[in-house]
């Protein structure tokens, strides 16, 4: 079989926060998988950097333990695990002082250098400054930063400003892990790799679009972060916004970083300001032995939302008049990320009123069970006249592509894109700021009104008000709970 792996140059990757949760759960397992696939060239180094003192052996043990937990299958191969650990190094570093920087300098050998800031944003500026001070950066340096990128427009602008003091925008990789998901990239393939959909992809033919990102998990151990964030900042401002952009954007002239990001930015800038009656906030209550949101965050009076449903409008020629409904929440009935493009009814029914109303619908299932379903209208078989029914033309990707096709984790793709220097799947400064500029007034409105989220039963489809918001428009939510 022809290898589909695109080779990269040898590189040094420094993970600040190298003993943290993200490093253990996502970054190191992603690197290990790429290593096992032969994509990490000899001579590359992965350097964990954190405050605590660890011997090299102790850090390698920590890495091996993390991989045995978060890359279980592959880590059974002890030789591979050992070989991977050989390229892993460690420095104890003081982000705000001088300790450890000379050691780090001694470890970096390669031209391509990526610095992954897997630490709180409060340290970005210190790290950036010290990297420069110690002469550790070059033309081929990249910095990777995680969400949350700011808490609002002002803080995001401040972060952008701090990073820009030391790095060119072309060196900054802001991660939204949704963009690294294979299924999310598939949205672009479906839209721009087929001629079928594009002529219909506009307000003339599309009645409305729904985007759902539902989770069954609660806020778990992340209560402290989540309580200050809520679903709007945690999910809507970034992940749902990215999905909306990919669905609504104009075809970019090519699949290149700025062409794609320019088009996404135009979508965000064309969004209307959401009216208070077009948005529903919710908070889960206790059920099935699981704690309520307020218990999870240990705040009996919390006003933070674990659910948001909203209606918005992309004000441009393509979409004027076609509403977009977004919804996301924790402790919902199913884990379900999907997009429904609901087409308009035919302009005239030749079959008479008894045929009823029928909408074609394209359902794009992103996770779990990736697939596409096109709902088409056919004649109900049998005698009794022309009765119409809707049936799905179904394509499960697992069935179509075979069960052996493995979907890589988002971080595998994203980290290798950093090494390659490809920013297409990363957010640009103006994109992040535009997303906050849209989100901020909504959140400020809640704060000014002292808005309290509506309670909803855990493992339900969210608060009744979300359903009512739809029924006021003579529409209903699709998917989740069906």
- Asked whether 345 and 359 are in contact (CB, 8 A), the reply is yes
**Minimum distance from CB of 237 to ligand BG6 (Å)?**
10
For residues 159 and 213, which CB has a smaller minimum distance to ligand BG6 in the complex?
213
Return d(Cα 104, Cα 136) in angstroms, integer. 9
DSSP run (H or E) holding 102: helix 101-107
Q: Which of 166, 208, 239, 278 is catalytic?
A: 239
In eight-state DSSP terms, residue 172 is: E
**Minimum distance from CB of 155 to ligand BG6 (Å)?**
17
Rg (Cα) of the chain, in Å, rounded?
A: 24
**Minimum distance from CB of 450 to ligand BG6 (Å)?**
25
**Minimum distance from CB of 215 to ligand BG6 (Å)?**
6
**Minimum distance from CB of 453 to ligand BG6 (Å)?**
16
SS3 29: helix
- Asked whether 114 and 418 are in contact (CB, 8 A), the reply is yes
Q: What is the dihedral of CA 92, 96, 102, 103, to 10 degrees?
A: 10
Q: Which residues contact 114 (CB under 8 A, 6 or more apart)?
A: 11, 12, 13, 14, 141, 142, 143, 144, 415, 418, 419
Residue nearest to ligand BG6 (CB): 234
For residues 12 and 182, which CB has a smaller minimum distance to ligand BG6 in the complex?
182
**Minimum distance from CB of 363 to ligand BG6 (Å)?**
18
Q: What is the dihedral of CA 23, 28, 30, 35, to 10 degrees?
A: 160
For residues 215 and 338, which CB has a smaller minimum distance to ligand BG6 in the complex?
215
For residues 215 and 227, which CB has a smaller minimum distance to ligand BG6 in the complex?
215
For residues 60 and 181, which CB has a smaller minimum distance to ligand BG6 in the complex?
181
**Minimum distance from CB of 470 to ligand BG6 (Å)?**
23
For the range 381-387, what are the long-range contacts, defined as Cβ-Cβ under 8 Å and sequence gap of 24 or more?
385/354, 386/351, 386/352, 386/354, 386/355, 387/354, 387/355
Q: Classify strands 11-16 and 112-117 as parallel, antiparallel or unpaired.
A: parallel
User: Is 239 one of the annotated active-site residues of the chain?
Assistant: yes
For residues 81 and 364, which CB has a smaller minimum distance to ligand BG6 in the complex?
364
- How distant is the alpha carbon of residue 457 from its chain centre? 26
In eight-state DSSP terms, residue 195 is: T
What does the binding site for ligand BG6 look like in residue numbers (CB under 6 A)? 215, 234
CB count in 10 Å sphere of residue 214: 22
Return d(Cα 381, Cα 373) in angstroms, integer. 21
For residues 229 and 292, which CB has a smaller minimum distance to ligand BG6 in the complex?
229
Catalytic residues: 239
């Amino acid at each position: 079989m022809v290898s589909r792996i695109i080779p990269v140059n040898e590189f040094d990757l420094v993970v600040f926060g190298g003993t943290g949760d993200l490093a253990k759960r996502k970054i190191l397992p992603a690197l290990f998988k790429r290593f096992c696939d032969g994509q990490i060239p000899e001579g590359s180094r992965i350097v964990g950097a954190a405050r605590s003192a660890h011997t090299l052996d102790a850090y390698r043990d920590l890495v091996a333990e993390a991989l045995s937990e978060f890359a279980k299958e592959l880590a059974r191969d002890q030789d591979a695990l050992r070989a991977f650990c050989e390229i892993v190094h460690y420095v104890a570093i003081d982000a705000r002082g001088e300790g450890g920087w000379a050691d780090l300098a001694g470890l970096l050998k390669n031209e391509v250098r990526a610095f992954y800031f897997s630490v709180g944003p409060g340290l970005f500026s210190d790290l950036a400054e010290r990297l420069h001070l110690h002469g550790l950066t070059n033309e081929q340096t990249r910095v990777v930063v995680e969400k949350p990128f700011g808490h609002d427009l002002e803080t995001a602008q401040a972060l952008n400003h701090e990073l820009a003091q030391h790095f060119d925008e072309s060196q900054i990789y802001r991660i939204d892990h949704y963009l690294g998901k294979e299924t999310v990239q598939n949205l672009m393939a479906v839209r721009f790799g087929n001629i079928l959909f594009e002529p219909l992809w506009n307000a003339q033919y599309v009645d409305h679009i729904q985007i759902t990102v539902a989770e069954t998990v609660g806020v778990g151990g992340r209560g402290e972060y989540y309580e200050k964030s809520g679903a709007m900042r945690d999910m809507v401002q970034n992940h749902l916004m990215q999905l909306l952009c990919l669905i609504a954007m104009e075809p970019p002239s090519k699949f290149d970083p700025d062409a794609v990001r320019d088009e996404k930015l135009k979508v965000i800038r064309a969004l209307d300001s959401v009216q208070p009656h077009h948005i529903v906030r919710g908070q889960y209550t206790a059920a099935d032995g699981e704690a309520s949101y307020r218990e999870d965050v240990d705040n009996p009076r919390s006003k933070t939302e674990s659910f948001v449903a909203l209606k918005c409008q992309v004000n441009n020629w393509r979409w004027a008049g076609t509403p977009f409904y977004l919804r996301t929440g924790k402790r919902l009935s199913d884990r379900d990320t999907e997009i429904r493009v609901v087409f308009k009814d035919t302009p005239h029914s030749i079959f008479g009123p008894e045929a009823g109303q029928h909408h074609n619908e394209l359902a794009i299932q992103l996770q779990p069970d990736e697939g596409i379903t096109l709902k088409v209208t056919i004649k109900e078989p049998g005698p009794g006249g022309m009765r119409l029914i809707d049936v799905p033309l179904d394509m499960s990707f697992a069935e179509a592509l075979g069960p052996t096709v493995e979907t890589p984790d988002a971080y595998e793709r994203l980290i290798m894109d950093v090494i390659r220097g490809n920013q297409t799947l990363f957010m640009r400064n103006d994109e992040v700021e535009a997303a906050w500029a849209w989100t901020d007034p909504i959140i400020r409105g809640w704060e000014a009104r002292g808005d309290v989220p509506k309670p909803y039963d855990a493992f339900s489809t969210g608060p009744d008000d979300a359903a009512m918001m739809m029924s006021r428009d003579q529409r209903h939510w699709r998917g989740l709970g069906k």
